[in-house]
Structure 1
Amino acid sequence: MTTPLEPIADIGGAAQPLLDVKGLTKHFPIGGGLFAEKKIVRAVDDVSFQVGKGETVGIVGESGCGKSTTARLLMHLMERNSGEILFDGQLVGATFSLRELRRGMQMVFQDSYASLNPRLTIEDSIAFGPKVHGISDKAARELARDLLTKVGLRPEVFANRYPHEVSGGQRQRVNIARALALKPRLVILDEAVSALDKSVEAQVLNLLTDLKRDLGLTYLFISHDLNVVRYISDRVLVMYLGQVVELGPVDAVYDGPAHPYTRALLAAMPAMDPDERTMTPPISGDPPNPIDPPSGCRFHTRCPFAEEVCSKVVPALSPVDESGHLAACHQVIPGSGHSRAPVLEAA
């Protein structure tokens, strides 16, 4: 059994993904009764992706697209309906226990204040997890103070303070230190910088970059801020209505978005240059009801390029080029039946 003082060992080597998600699905039942029909909200619907060791994968999309639900499913904070989660090749819940998962994967939440126990000092909050996993009180407190130093907070000043006595940026640094206390290999950051002002946000992003380099971390970075995602990510995953619609290297996706939804998201990014500001909405209408999503491609009701095939056939994630850039759009699938699709080459 892995000792609490050591990181969980690397089993499969650099070529094996640290996180491998297959068919992850979460449906929330709502309504129902004596006469009413029971319905379900399709929050996450058959999501699959991989996160390589040492990389940062960003997840973007509109509010309600399933980003945070996916994070909570990965952390087992809620029960999934179906799908498999493999951590370094080991099936979570079978060959890899939830206790080991809690050590190998940690999460930093958006609300820095609600994430901390107001009755515990900062030092106690950071030391709590290691003590649960068997480290002595003295060693846990030493670790907490060391981590405070790593995240840029002087232990002699901040260790005995309570969460309400520090600023939002400092609290988020505390949350990052607490997440690192069990020496995880993967850290999920769910809108971890979105509540901070821009100057503090930049400091925290630089801190995350330094920690990744120094500690060999892997990040899953969830955000609605596309500029932040491009700055910190190696690859980006775009979600729409509970499904993955585009995935690929961050520069490939940002410079050549293949899915109309991704193009609309990028077109909506604010620009400082008045000549480049968007004057017309890049996307119209509200997202469809996740209780009764559209058939075929779920984006076809808002897509300017929608054709008959889009409403009838669900597009699979398909290669856009040889860089690993994938998109779930009939326009990139050869022979899909869409007028803009590439011609299917003869065998």
Structure 2
Amino acid sequence: MNVTPMVTSDPRDRGGKAQPLLRVKGLRKHFVIKRDLLGRPLSRVHAVDGIDFEVRKGETLGIVGESGCGKSTTARLLMHLLQPDGGEVIFDGDPVGTRGGLSLREMRRQMQMVFQNSYASLNPRMTIEESIAFGPQVHGVGRRESRQRARRLLDQVGLLPERFAQRYPHELSGGQRQRVNIARALALEPRLLILDEAVSALDKSVEAQVLNLLGDLKQEYGLTYLFISHDLNVVRYISDRVMVMYLGKVAEVGDSEALYRAPAHPYTRALMSAMPSLEPGRRTQTAPLAGDPPNPIDLPPGCRFCPRCPLAVDLCRASEPELAALPGGGHLSACHRAGEVQAEVSNPQPSVEESVR
């Protein structure tokens, strides 16, 4: 579903096409789990540990990684549902939450989030129409106009207002509730939508419907998406670029097809190897990765992927690699041996089965 990023003539667009809609610098969040008698931290979980990335206007940036890599924590930090320990979030050139920058109230008008749990995201005591209209009312839109906007959005996400406006969340299926959550996020007319595992709890047929709906809404409203998922096939389908995270760090960023075709980080290569294949002849003979991720409380020196990496050398154990651009530009990898990894994947050796055939 890779489409050319579309830049609309939104009057709120302050920086033009060249300026990213969202830029993140050194974002960090550590959760303290143990303190001494004086309240000083003794141990902490490095959930998000100084990450940098940007989201271009009109694109879909997918974020993938194992459970616990920091994907959802990153989303909550961007929305300031969690207070960052450090770093900077810049929305269309304006720093968020700082004096002279973009206020949190205005940021949340332009950046909305759709959560994984479609039922817990909705107030069980409010009708569907009231849930969608609540946000605009809080931001000063009149009651009548908010209700009209809610009904219009219900129709656009494929739910007839006459049938669903006065229902309650428990009367809807999971796919219908997620459509309501999408409509609620669009009610404030945002520019950026953060989708945190928004389709992972849905049946495959319903998942496909919601993905197609997201594609239609993106084109209609000129939206930008930050799409978080553990499903590599879904991310490949919907994303223009993909960012891979591992233990609170960015491991690799690149155009979707280029990254899937020739990953430049051993961890990304292992993720791609774990994808199920529809071809009977392509069977995984050995596990793509061995061992468990390191303890996020007591991280190893050097590269965080080093204990599980088959290509690790002494440099990897001694020095943590920086996220750097590969030759040609546009593809970033945090690996000392990125070029070798990419070359090996681009020119794969035939398997035993292929050699026999």
Q: TM-score, normalised by structure 1?
A: 0.92
- Counterpart check, 1:274 vs 2:280: yes
Q: For residue 242 of structure 1, what is the aligned residue in structure 2?
A: 248
Q: For residue 349 of structure 2, what is the aligned residue in structure 1?
A: none
- Counterpart check, 1:311 vs 2:297: no
Q: Deviations over 1:227-272 (max 9, x none)?
A: 0000000000000000001001011110000100000000001112
Aligned positions of 1:1-347 closer than 5 A: 9-34=12-37, 38-94=42-98, 95-332=101-338
Question: Separation in 1 of the partners of 2:296 and 2:339?
Answer: 25
Question: Separation in 2 of the partners of 1:176 and 1:332?
Answer: 38
Contact 1:8 1:185 in 2 (8 A): no
Per the TM alignment, residue 8 of structure 1 is displaced from its structure 2 partner at its CA by: 7.0
Corresponding letter in the other structure for 1:84: E
Question: Separation in 1 of the partners of 2:331 and 2:57?
Answer: 19
Per the TM alignment, residue 224 of structure 1 is displaced from its structure 2 partner at its CA by: 0.2
Q: Deviations over 1:3-41 (max 9, x none)?
A: xxxx77111111100000000000010122449972011
Q: What secondary structure sits across from 2:132 in the alignment?
A: helix
Contact 2:32 2:41 in 1 (8 A): no
Corresponding letter in the other structure for 1:284: A
Corresponding letter in the other structure for 2:111: M
Contact 1:318 1:333 in 2 (8 A): no
Question: Separation in 2 of the partners of 1:176 and 1:132?
Answer: 18
Q: What secondary structure sits across from 2:69 in the alignment?
A: coil
Contact 1:8 1:184 in 2 (8 A): no
Question: Separation in 1 of the partners of 2:42 and 2:336?
Answer: 33
Corresponding letter in the other structure for 1:71: A
Question: Separation in 2 of the partners of 1:256 and 1:173?
Answer: 35
Contact 1:318 1:332 in 2 (8 A): no
Q: What secondary structure sits across from 1:46 in the alignment?
A: strand
- Of the structure 1 ranges 185-194 and 7-16, higher mean CA displacement relative to structure 2 is found in 7-16
C-alpha distance 17-37 of structure 1, shift in aligned 2 (>3 A): closer
Q: What secondary structure sits across from 1:131 in the alignment?
A: helix
Q: What secondary structure sits across from 1:21 in the alignment?
A: strand
Question: Separation in 2 of the partners of 1:93 and 1:330?
Answer: 36
Which consecutive residues of structure 1, in runs of 5 or more, have no partner in the other structure? 1-6, 335-339, 341-347
Alpha-carbon RMSD: 1.5
Corresponding letter in the other structure for 2:68: G
Q: TM-score, normalised by structure 2?
A: 0.90
Q: What secondary structure sits across from 2:44 in the alignment?
A: strand
Q: For residue 4 of structure 1, what is the aligned residue in structure 2?
A: none
Which consecutive residues of structure 2, in runs of 5 or more, have no partner in the other structure? 1-9, 345-357
Q: What secondary structure sits across from 2:271 in the alignment?
A: helix
Contact 2:115 2:195 in 1 (8 A): yes
Please list every run of at least 4 consecutive aligned residues from structure 1 whose deviation after the TM superposition is greater than 2 angstroms: 32-37
Contact 1:236 1:250 in 2 (8 A): yes
Q: What secondary structure sits across from 1:140 in the alignment?
A: helix
Corresponding letter in the other structure for 1:248: G
Question: Separation in 2 of the partners of 1:275 and 1:291?
Answer: 41
Q: What secondary structure sits across from 1:274 in the alignment?
A: coil
Contact 2:264 2:339 in 1 (8 A): no
Per the TM alignment, residue 323 of structure 1 is displaced from its structure 2 partner at its CA by: 4.3
Q: Deviations over 1:150-173 (max 9, x none)?
A: 111100000000000010000000
C-alpha distance 16-285 of structure 1, shift in aligned 2 (>3 A): same
Per the TM alignment, residue 93 of structure 1 is displaced from its structure 2 partner at its CA by: 1.0
Q: What secondary structure sits across from 2:308 in the alignment?
A: coil
